[in-house]
């Protein structure tokens, strides 16, 4: 009777909603296993707080300032915390730690080119381990070096374009050009030919625009609660280019598939990453078949081109704004050149002998690690004590490379500054242990050696041949941190130089 009367009352439903919401807030603030972990109030009661920051594309800066305010453990969602304590890195990401990737990785919008998961998104550690063992050998530095001639071919095309700009005193947007370089490297190595961005001097097929549109959407869906994901289309107003982006993704998938298929029918001695993947498929079919070849090559576009471009952009941008570092780097390169230690096309082996170059590249990736989000993991069975707090099994924890790389306890009081000199001092080895730009443990970056080969070879090549000047040295670049960074407005003028 009483219930029927209550249900008939028009105020019942709003009142019930208010009571349920109040109950939810009380639970989250008082009884939840995460209660008491500091952080913004709204983050403790709803994932919309996290989503809002991801839409604003400033989650990296926001998490960093939250840690400065609240300490080493911050609640960024009702069931997720961000950690900044350097000691926690090894605990959370160690091979034997038992922590597993969360559904953040599988929520991404993906154009499936194989029924199996790729290496990045596979959440089952046992399945992942088998797959990673299959491909590991093609990512060793000695295997990558078998492709050095192919990397050089892309660099030559890139240099021709840079030279033309220098000759004609034409400015160029390094943010976009470095990305065209890394995309064409992936094309050359994983698909047997450059995609053609450098040659066409533009975003052919709108592929880069497609990545720009779809990757932030994927990030947004990744941080949503799973119950919210079916409503992800509601995010489209925030991703105006999303639908054309999906078309671009599909076109890129089809084009790259065509490249792989063409290669299958080809008799060639060419040694590259595609050849290595095809050989794995030959030896391990049906565990790893042609669809997997295409998928891992396709994933390299996203995992390998955007990230390496960010590292290169950070290097060029920070060197342009730090004249003493640029001068020191050029002096080191010039001296090696004069002593006959650098070939016309600088080899990786020659480049790693340049200590200041090494310091510059480390520092560029410290201040701007190419992955901008916390790498989220589930706490394993039994729970774990992290930063002195017990985190129950299944809870979500993560460390953002961007947050970790600015910890003064590791990198010093001047951690905010771009200072390659820090890598020449006595603390270098200790700092290196906490560099997190390639992740850590069983899920750390598979393509690290390829990325390093690109960075170490290209940067001295550029600075030996050109003075790189920002058109407006007072203007900061524009950075948006989402799944990948989007940097723009690195307009430079190149001036040719000769080392005597």
Q: Is 451 in the site for ligand HEM (CB under 6 A)?
A: yes
350: helix, coil or strand? helix
CA-to-CA distance for 347 and 459, rounded, in angstroms? 11
Which residue, 95, 62, 67, 85, is CA-closest to 439? 95
Which residue's Cβ lies closest to ligand HEM?
447
| 374 touching ligand HEM, by CB under 6 A | no
Give me the residues paired with residue 466 across strands.
496
Interacting span for ligand HEM (CB under 6 A) from 196-204, 258-266, 349-357, 431-439: 431-439
CA 178 → CA 152, 154, 311, distances in Å? Answer: 15, 12, 10
Site track for ligand HEM across 331-370, x = CB under 6 A? ---------------------------------------x
Please tell me the distance from the alpha carbon of residue 369 to that of residue 351, in angstroms, as a whole number.
Answer: 21
User: Of these, 117, 308, 330, 368, which contacts ligand HEM (CB under 6 A)?
Assistant: 308
- Of residues 32, 239, 307, 320, which one binds ligand HEM by CB under 6 A? 307
Q: Which of 39, 72, 245, 439 binds ligand HEM (CB under 6 A)?
A: 439
Question: Which one of residues 443, 457, 464, 486 is an interface residue with ligand HEM (CB under 6 A)?
Answer: 443
Q: Nearest 5°: phi and psi at 169?
A: 50, 40
- Residue ranges in 244-303 that form contacts with ligand HEM under rule CB under 6 A: 299-300, 303
> Which are the contacts of 206, defined by CB distance < 8 A and separation ≥ 6?
244, 248, 251
Q: Nearest distance from residue 166's CB to ligand HEM, in Å?
A: 26
Kindly state whether residue 219 participates in binding ligand HEM, applying the rule CB under 6 A. no
For ligand HEM, the closer CB: 221 or 445: 445
d(CA 132, CA 134): 5
> Is 445 assigned to a binding site?
yes
Residue 479 has φ and ψ, to the nearest 5°, of -125, 135
Residues, the chain:
500
Nearer Cβ to ligand HEM, position 455 or 470? 455
**Which of 311, 346, 360, 468 contacts ligand HEM by CB under 6 A?**
311
Asked whether 481 and 400 are in contact (CB, 8 A), the reply is no
Query: Which of residues 288, 411, 438, 456 is near ligand HEM by CB under 6 A?
Result: 438
Euclidean distance between CA atoms 336 and 11, whole angstroms: 81
Segment interacting with ligand HEM, rule: CB under 6 A, options 68-76, 194-202, 206-214, 307-315: 307-315
Starting from the edge strand earliest in sequence, which strands make up the sheet with 80-83, in order? 73-77, 80-83, 396-398, 377-378, 100-101
Report the residue number, 28 or 177, with the smaller CB distance to ligand HEM. 177
Binding residues for heme: 445
Binding site for ligand HEM (CB under 6 A): 119-120, 132, 299-300, 303-304, 307-308, 311, 370-371, 375, 437-439, 443-447, 450-451
């Amino acid at each position: 009777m009483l219930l029927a009367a209550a249900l008939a009352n028009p105020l019942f439903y709003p009142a019930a909603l208010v009571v349920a919401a109040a109950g939810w807030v009380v639970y989250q603030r008082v009884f939840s296993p995460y209660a008491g972990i500091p952080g913004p109030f709204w983050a403790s009661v709803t994932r919309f707080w996290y989503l809002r920051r991801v839409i604003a594309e400033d989650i990296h800066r926001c998490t960093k300032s939250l840690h400065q305010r609240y300490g080493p453990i911050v609640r960024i969602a009702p069931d997720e915390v961000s950690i900044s304590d350097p000691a926690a890195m090894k605990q959370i990401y160690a091979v034997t730690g038992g922590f597993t990737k969360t559904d953040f990785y599988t929520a991404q919008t993906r154009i499936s080119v194989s029924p199996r998961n790729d290496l990045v998104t596979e959440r089952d550690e046992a399945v992942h381990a088998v797959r990673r063992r299959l491909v590991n050998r093609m990512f060793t530095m000695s295997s990558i070096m078998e492709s050095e001639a192919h990397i050089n071919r892309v660099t030559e095309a890139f240099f021709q374009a840079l030279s033309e700009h220098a000759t004609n005193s034409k400015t160029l947007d390094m943010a976009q050009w470095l990305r065209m370089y890394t995309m064409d490297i992936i094309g050359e190595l994983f698909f047997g030919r450059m995609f053609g961005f450098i040659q066409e001097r533009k975003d052919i097929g709108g592929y880069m625009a497609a990545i720009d549109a779809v990757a932030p959407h994927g990030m947004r869906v990744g941080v949503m609660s799973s119950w919210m994901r079916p409503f992800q289309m509601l995010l489209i107003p925030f991703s105006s280019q999303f639908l054309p982006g999906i078309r671009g993704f599909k076109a890129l998938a089809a084009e790259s598939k065509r490249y792989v298929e063409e290669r299958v029918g080809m008799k060639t001695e060419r040694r590259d990453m595609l050849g290595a993947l095809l050989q794995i498929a030959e030896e391990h079919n049906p565990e790893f078949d042609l669809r997997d070849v295409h998928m891992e090559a396709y994933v390299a576009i996203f995992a390998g081109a955007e990230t390496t471009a960010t590292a290169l952009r950070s290097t060029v941008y920070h060197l342009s704004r730090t004249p003493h570092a640029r001068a020191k780097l050029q002096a080191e390169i010039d001296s090696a050149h004069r002593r006959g230690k650098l070939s016309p096309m600088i080899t990786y082996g020659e480049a790693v002998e340049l200590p200041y170059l090494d310091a510059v590249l480390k520092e560029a990736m410290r201040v701007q690690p190419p992955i901008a989000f916390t790498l989220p993991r589930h706490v394993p069975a039994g729970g774990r004590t992290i930063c002195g707090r017990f985190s129950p099994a299944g809870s979500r924890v993560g460390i953002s490379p961007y947050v970790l790389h600015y910890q003064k306890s590791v990198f010093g009081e001047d951690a905010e500054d771009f200072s390659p000199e820090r890598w020449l001092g006595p603390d270098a080895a200790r700092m290196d242990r906490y560099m997190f730009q390639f992740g850590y443990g069983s899920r750390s970056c598979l393509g690290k050696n390829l990325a390093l080969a690109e960075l170490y070879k290209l940067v001295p090549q550029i600075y030996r041949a050109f003075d790189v000047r920002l058109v407006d040295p007072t203007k900061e670049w524009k950075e948006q941190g989402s799944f990948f960074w989007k940097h723009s407005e690195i307009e430079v003028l190149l001036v040719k130089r000769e080392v005597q």
